[in-house]
Structures are given as C-alpha cells and as structure tokens.
Amino acid sequence: MRGPSPKQGFVQILKAAGLAALLLLGLAAAPARAAEASPGPPYIVIDADTGAVLASDNPNHPWYPASVTKAMTAYMVFQALAEGRLQENQKVTISAKAASQPPGKLGLGAGTKVSVKLLLEAMIVRSANDAAVALAEAVSGSEAAFATAMTRQAQKLRMSQTVFSNASGLPDPAQVTTARDLAMLARALMKDFPDRFGLFSKTHVVFGGQSRPTIMSWLGAYKGAIGIKTGFTCGSGYNLLAAAERDGRRLIGVVLGARTSGQRNTLMRKVMDIAFSQPADTSGALLVAALRGSPRIMTPYVLPAGTCAAGISPGTEMMAKGELPGWGLVFGSFISKAEASARIAENREALKKVVNAGKPTIVARTSIATHRYSALLVGLEPDDAGSACRHLQSLGVYCLAVPPKLLNNPQALWR
C-alpha cells in the first residue's frame, strides 16, 4: 500500500503543528459565508536550483504583492545595469513625485541627486518608496512606463498571473500576483543576477552619515536566511518572499496574507524546516514553471473590515455608461486604451471555442501613481465566466472572474 504523497505528508505535518487554522482571511464586500469558507494563506516552497515544488497550498490564488513588488523593481534595475542603460555611480535627480511618496522612505527632497547604487540599497534594505519611484523614472522615464515594462518582463519570466501598476507596491487594486509567480521571480533573480542577489541580505544601508538597519526581519529570524523581501499593506496583509541556504542547498518560500509579521515568519520557518528535512533529490518532482490549477476564489482577499479598511481607487470612471451586466472577466490593467483593447481582442480569440458571449469593456482609472485602463469582458453567465478564466489560465494568461456585485462596486478590489 502506498503512503501519502510528499505534499499530503507536508499538509499532515502542518495540521499537526496547528497551522491549518492560521490566518483565515475574509473577502471584503463578500457575503459573510464566503469569508467563513475562505482558505488559509497561500504558500509555496521550491528548490531554488531545480525549481522543484516541495510544498504548496493554493499557490495560484491572486494576492496583492505590497512591497514584495520591489523585488521585481530590483530585477528591472539589475537588467538595466547589465545592459549599460544605467550605471551604479550614475546620479539620479529625485523628482517631485518620488519625493512625495508616503512612508516608508528615505525622505529624499525633490531636486536631490542620489546614486543608483544608494537608491537600490535603500529600496531593498529599507523598502524606501521614494527610492523605488526614482529608480523607475531613471530606467523608463516615468513610473507608468516602468510598470508596463515590469508586467511585460513578468510575462517573459512566465509569471502568468502577475500585473504590476507601480514600482513600490503601494496599494493599487490592479496590481496582483501569486505565490507561484513570486517564487518564479526569486528564482530568476538568483539565476540571472547571481552577482547582485547578495543585496537582498544586506543588514544596513548608510545614508546621511547614519547606518540604517534592514527592515527584513527574516534575515535574523531563520538560520541560513539569505533574503529576499517583505511586504505589507492593509489589502495584502503581511507577505514574505524568502530564501535560505543550508549545506549548499537553497530554498525559496512565499507566504502571503499573514495577520502579523510574527505569524508570517513563524509559518515560513515551519514550512522551510519541513522542506529542508526532505531528501535533496527532487528528480521527478513537479516543477514550479509547470504548476497549474485554478485558485479557489478568483478575487484577491483583503484583511477584514475593522483591521484595515480597503481603500477606494481614486478617480474611478467607467467609459461605458450605466451598470455593467452579468459576470465580468478582468484581463489586467494597461497604460493605454489601445493596449487594453488589444488584450481583449487576443483573449476573445483564445476563447472562441469556449465562450462566444460577452461585451468588450474598458474601464478608465486614474490613481495616484498612473492613469491606466482595465480590460474586461462583461455580460457573462457564472459558469461561462469560470470556464473562460480557467481556459485562459491554462494558457498562462492572466484572468479574474468577477461577480455582478463586485463588477459594479466602485470600491471593488479589481479597480
């Protein structure tokens, strides 16, 4: 008789450790029964060198990345440095927009000139939002253009369910990712920029004559920790993209949506310890790049009301007049109407044999960071919406199925 699979055994150990009841998160604006049925936080652990999935739970569930976004911003900056489009000692003039970013930040004044090297260190070590925006503008000219480039690069890295709207991870309902995609990102950072990955384990940054410690609590919380990034917003909860090395073996872990940083680190320690205890031979294991499966619920969670209220996306306006009918499919947020329209056309073509119904719709949204356009297909039946999204996701295409109540709610998370 066969014993439990590695994943089944892993889940059994977690339950025995009392982790199965951790951190149940409710869905804002959803009925109470949906919150009661909500799963625990998504997580995944992979072998960094082989990409083998050692453990996971709901790794394809959409989530807000928060400041873990800065790991992707770093990837883009590393790429620009490698291609000679930026130099480490190059001075970047801090714009009024960068200077006006909310904390955490260094407090850089508009017009200040700061090196790319210092901005990188400040963004990674201190999670400085002003540094992230300044780097985005240095690479692409504007944060909006940089966010578009981030999303395109994410697709190249096969981060199939990720959309970026800004460089810092500040709240933007259009900016979503998954535990699986973040694990793919960390592996790409290790593989593509091994000479720069050490920045994620720096314990301090010197600025203004003062040494400022890292906010990456994982580095001191786990034996063998080597980075890489934490994140928190009211919408995301406490996120952690982590890496650790023991006896020459490197693992990458992702935990999304913890209630506190302590709970986040505790869960990560548990799953990392169990993964390190498994055999190093991962031949025949499922690879993270091949990991498929639909999320249990198609909409990202936020922490329940009273803990952190979900913010309204400023300046929301619909190009289409009146109430949007039926269920809708959200295909992402784009920098221009033309790009949004093109994505709708591409996805409708891909759905020809699955769903022929639906009305193409573009929703314009002006946020603090950028003016963007969400691409939708509306007027669908619930079953058709679910089938369509599953089909697109099987092709590696980003898709969210949204019920009528959330489709027409000006505070809905997808906006």
The C-alpha atoms of residue 159 and residue 169 are separated, in whole angstroms, by 17
The C-alpha atoms of residue 373 and residue 375 are separated, in whole angstroms, by 6
Residue whose tokens read 């020809």: 352
Residue percentage of the chain with pLDDT more than 70: 80
Does 262 have pLDDT greater than 50? Answer: yes
CA atoms in the 13 A half-sphere facing the CB of 12: 7
> What 8-state DSSP symbol labels residue 410?
T
Cβ atoms within 10 Å of 5's Cβ, excluding its own: 9
Which is the catalytic residue, given 56, 67, 160, 168? Answer: 67
Joined together, the tokens standing for residue 17 give 């450790």
pLDDT tens, position by position, 263-273: 888 889 999 99
| pLDDT band at 126; cut points 50, 70, 90 | very high
- The pLDDT score that the predictor gives to residue 39 is 53
Overall average pLDDT of the 7-25 stretch: 35
pLDDT tens, position by position, 49-96: 999 999 998 898 888 999 999 999 999 999 999 999 999 999 999 999
**CA–CA–CA angle 68, 253, 27 (5° rounding):** 60
Least confident of 15-24, 112-121, 178-187, 238-247: 15-24
* Whether residue 127 lies in the annotated active site: yes
Task: Give the closest residue to 361 by CA, choosing from 404, 320, 415.
Answer: 320
Which is the catalytic residue, given 38, 56, 70, 374? Answer: 70
pLDDT tens, position by position, 283-308: 878 899 888 765 554 445 545 443 44
Task: Give the closest residue to 23 by CA, choosing from 275, 256, 342.
Answer: 256
Joined together, the tokens standing for residue 331 give 């295909």
Q: Residue 345 belongs to what H/E stretch?
A: helix 337-350
Alpha carbon 243 to chain centroid, angstroms: 16
Domains, the chain = 39-302 (3.40.710.10), 316-407 (3.30.70.1070)
* Whether residue 56 lies in the annotated active site: no
Which is the catalytic residue, given 38, 56, 95, 127? Answer: 127
> What 8-state DSSP symbol labels residue 395?
T
CB 298 within 8 A of CB 389: yes
